[in-house]
Every structure is written in C-alpha cells, then in structure tokens.
Structure 1
Amino acid sequence: MAAELRRLRADADLTREDVTRETAINPATLYRIETARGKPQQRTLIALLKLYGVEEPQFGELVALSQGADSQGWLRPYHSELPEEYTAYISFEAEAGNVRNYESLFVPGLLQTEDYARAVIRSVLPMASAREVEQRVQARMERQAVLDGDRPLQLWAIMDEAAIRRIVGGPEVMSTQLRHLVTAGEVPNVTIQVIPFAAGAHAGMPGSFVLMSFSGADDPEIIYIDSMAGDLFLEAEADIRRYGLLFDNLRAVALGPDDSLNLIKKAAAEMSSGEEVAE
C-alpha cells in the first residue's frame, strides 16, 4: 500500500507539500502512510486516490487492500520505540530490490557483524541506554534477512578504505568483521568495492548515502542520507540523477570487486597479526 501510494503521487507529479495543500492531510500523517508506519483511515485514502486521479477498478482494489493492511511487515513491536526516520528506512529497505550504498567511515549496516554493530552504536550514540543500544543492534541484525531468500536484495556497497582500517570494537572484533566482509563479498547478490587511500581525494568524501530502487518499474527511487543534522529522504528526479552519477563516479574510482576483497583480506591478516603481537 505504501509503495503504491508513493508511486501514484509521483505519477501525479505531486510533492508531499502539494498533497498537504490540496487535501489538508497532516504532513506527518502522509509521511507515516507512505513509509508503512501507519494505515490510512478510509476517508484519508479516498481523498488521496481522488487527488491522484485513480479510477476503478484500481480505486476499489486499493480501498480493499487498505482494509486488510493491518500488518507492519517484519517490523517487530519494539520498533515503535526506534526513531521514526529509522523505521521508515527499514520499511523502504525491506521493499527495495536494489540498494547502492556508499560509506565513508563505517562498514554498511547490512554487512556488519553483531559485535561491530554494537561497538558502532555505543560510540555514535553515547547517551543511549543499554536497552536502546541492544534494540538498534537487534534491528540491524534483522535487517540483514533481506540479503537471503528466494529474491534477495541486490546490494552494491562501496567503502572508503578508512572504513576497513579503523579499529572498531578492538582488533578481534574488527578482524572478525573484515573476514565477514570477505565472505559476504563472495555471495552473488552482494558486490563490495573499496576506494583505497592511494586514490586521494574523491567525490564521496563529503559523506555517506544510500540509493534504493524498487522492484516495480514505476516505483520512484529514494535516496537516504544519515547525518549529524538528522535523517533525510530525497526523491526529486534531479537528486536521484545526481546521486546516481555520484555512485557511478565512486564505482570507477574504487578498486574492482576482486581487488577490493584482496585488500580486505590483507587488512584482516594485518589485524590478526596485530592481535598475536598484543597477546
């Protein structure tokens, strides 16, 4: 339902602000509906469908779908305690068919081990309680299910070499994480590339981003940016084109997949050697 309503709005060439102005639907309500965080009331759904110019039989089919849309997918009850932007991201990721992820400092969340994820979350959220940390770790581990199954997510992950060199959680945790990356990179639906330090300055240095594409040919792509200033979703055609070109540029600057895995193996070996010396 959420994906279809986003597609219909895009086809009608309307922004969320346009919809609010035309229907008086609260922006937060529309955001929750389009991110599968809330089920639309029937009068709200009908107002949206009329604004988007939807006709029968699709009109009746969507109303019927809404009446049976009481499930939140794989989202667990405790996810209601997570930030709304993060649960929105989880919903989008679960629907996506293809994800292109660039990370400048971290291993991508879908490729993190539990211990690495815990170390990262504790460090970047120093004010979070132990319970909040564990909730986020559990959510991150559950998210990785999208990489398995009959129709697994196609993930293309590019990292700066800083992401594999920074010792997160200590040498043992990091060496385990690097070995996990090598294993993940050998799976057909996962491609991993690393931009080496030797490449010098590059277009990805300002920050990380995720570009999500969906199975339906008409579903609009979405960009997700996580920053100190907050989470941001972009869906304008100009932004999609700009970030698509940016990802292509980073892909060209990075080492090829085989060389990238060799670099990760080398880093893992060096990390393990450091562990032995420390012992």
Structure 2
Amino acid sequence: MDETTEPEHLNPLQRYGRDVKKVRLARNLTQKQLGRAAGYSESYVSRVEAGVLLPRPSDKFAEGLDLAFGTGGLFYDLLRRIDEGDHPSWFVPYLAMEQKASRILDFSTSLVKGLLQTEDYARAVYRNAYPHAEKEVIDAKTAARIHRRKVFDREKPPLFWGILHEACLRTEVGGPEVMAGQLEHLLAAAESPQIDLQILPFSAGAPTANGMMPFTLLTFDGSPTVLYAEGPQGGKLHDSAKTVTAHVDIYDRLRAHALCPVNSLALIKSHLKEYRNEP
C-alpha cells in the first residue's frame, strides 16, 4: 500500500486524519514541517493522521491546520462535525447551547449527567444502549461525550448545579468497579468551586409534578433561560416562558427536598464504600 492508499472503512477520526494527510501532501509538507507550522510535534501530527489520537485532536491544532494550510476554518469545522456526528441529531442543538451557558442546572434521575461521567461509565452506558455496535463506534461516542467536559476549561466556565436522584448512585452501570470510579469522580468534581451536587434520596418520594423525567435548565448572560427535557423519542429544547418557568419552580422544589451538599457527599461516600465492599 502506498502513502496515499486508504482502507475503505474509516471511523470519523481516521477520516479526519486522512484529510489532514491529503492536504499536507498536496502542500508538499512533511509531518515535522506541518507540526512546526501548527505549533505541535511531529508525533502529534502522525497520531492525528493515523486516527489514533484520543479523545480527538485539539481545537487549537485544528486552528493551526487552517492557518498552515490556508483553509479558512475547514479543519476546525470538520472537528466540530465529528463531535456532532457521534451524538444523535436531536441532541446537537443542545450541545451548541451547553457550550455557551453561564449556568447549567440539571436533574438526573437514573444515570449520572453526561458532563460528569467517567470514560468507563460512559462506555458502559453506550455499550448497553448499542449492544451490536462495533468497538470503534462505541469508542467514538465515548470520546465525544468525554470531550464535553471541555466546557469547564473555558476562561469563564459555567456554574453547574446537579441534583441526582439516589437511583443514579444505585443503578449499577458497568459493574462495581466502574461505579466506584464514577462515585469517586463525583466526589472530586464536587471539590470544584464551579460545581455543586445534591442527592435527592429515595426517602424524598416523588415531590414533583413531572415525576421522574430528567431535565436541564441552561441560563445565559443577556439571554432567556432555555429548558432541555428528555422523553421516549429523545430530547428537545424549549424556550416557552411558561414551560421554562414551570421547570424553574420544579427545580427549586427538588433542591428543597434534596439533601444539602454536605450530606449529599456523605451519601455518595456511603455508596462508594458499598461498591468497594468496605465496612
């Protein structure tokens, strides 16, 4: 196989790497020269072209490619499409809003919010949801979900307030070891000044009118709050003032019924001990 021959079946990262390689060769650049122009090492370029850089090439690298190639944002946009392509189409509009939100208020009912999932937990979720999918598909979806954490790396990251029903701690995803890692991650996340967590215990009953349907409220500087609500056919964004206000009230009621942050962390630690089989 010569340098320009590619296999027919490529995953999104491999296709991206193929395109980088094609343009690099067309510009008569070596990997070392491209790396220098983009501000990265030769080995970084090599891994990108091979499609093995996980979770995916950085935004800064894509911007460096466009500068080096003179492609006017093409490779940056292709990277965005990789992210979008590994999420269901109905979820893509939410992703765009999540990236701009100043506050994220979330109620999770049985699974930990995607933004707070560990890689092993996310992979187990996708493996259960797509039992017949190839490993590469599961890996790509997992990488896209973990990449969402980048929202907390912004210069002004959003404030995240999460209310997790105790079922999130009890629903065993991926086995005890994966769950232990996930609860450890929640405890570590709660140490961030940007993140507040509360647990709604089983003993609180069902204090809301919408039962146990998860939802997220996104607030923005200078723009109205929007609601993202999930249902059997997927999720949907709502900007109706009446609908949003009703869910703001529900969220306030959930906070009132949930354990305080200190007691919430204590409950997480208690469940963590169970998964570790500690006395």
TM-score by length of 1: 0.68
Contact 1:155 1:190 in 2 (8 A): yes
- The match for 1:210 is 216
In the alignment, structure 1 residue 232 sits paired with structure 2 residue 233: no
Q: What is the deviation of 1:74?
A: 6.9
Q: Which moves more between the two structures, 74-83 or 89-98? A: 74-83
* Pairing partner for 1:155 from 160, 163, 166: 160
Gaps of 5+ in 1: 1-67
Q: Determine which of 121, 126, 129 is the counterpart of 2:131.
A: 126
Tell me, yes or no, if structure 1 residue 97 matches structure 2 residue 102: yes
User: Is the partner of 2:276 in helix, strand or coil?
Assistant: helix
Superposed CA offset, 1:201-250 (max 9, x none): 221633100111112x2x12211122222221111000110010010000
Greater relative contact order structure (CA < 8 Å, 6+ sep): 1
- List aligned pairs for 1:34-45, cutoff 5 A: none
Q: Deviations over 1:105-148 (max 9, x none)?
A: 01111111000011112213335443332222111111011123
Q: Is the 8 A contact 1:104 1:205 kept in 2?
A: no
- What secondary structure, in the 3-state scheme, does the structure 2 residue paired with 1:221 have? strand
Change (3 A) 1:87 1:127: farther
| 1:248 and 2:259 correspond | no
Q: Which range is displaced more, 182-191 or 126-135?
A: 126-135
Contact kept? 1:112, 1:177, Cα under 8 Å:
yes
Q: Report the counterpart of residue 113 of structure 2 in structure 1.
A: 108
Identity score, percent: 35
Contact 1:209 1:226 in 2 (8 A): yes
Aligned in 2, Cα 1:152/1:267: closer, same or farther, shift over 3 Å? same
What is the aligned-residue RMSD (CA, Å)?
2.2
Pick closer, same or farther for the CA change 1:114–1:247 going to 2, 3 Å: same
How far apart are residue 72 of structure 1 and its match?
4.5
Q: What does residue 66 of structure 2 align with?
A: none
* Alpha-carbon shift at residue 79 of structure 1 (Å): 2.8
Tell me the distance in 1 between the aligned counterparts of 2:230 and 2:151.
20
Instruction: Report whether the alignment pairs 1:80 with 2:85.
Output: yes
Sort the Cα spacing of 1:171 and 1:192 in 2 relative to 1 into closer, same or farther, 3 A: same
Q: Which runs of 4+ in 1 moved over 4 A?
A: 68-74
Tell me which residue corresponds to 1:170: 175
Distance 1:136 1:119 in 2: 11
Structure 1: distance between partners of 2:178 and 2:156: 30
Paired letter, 1:250: L
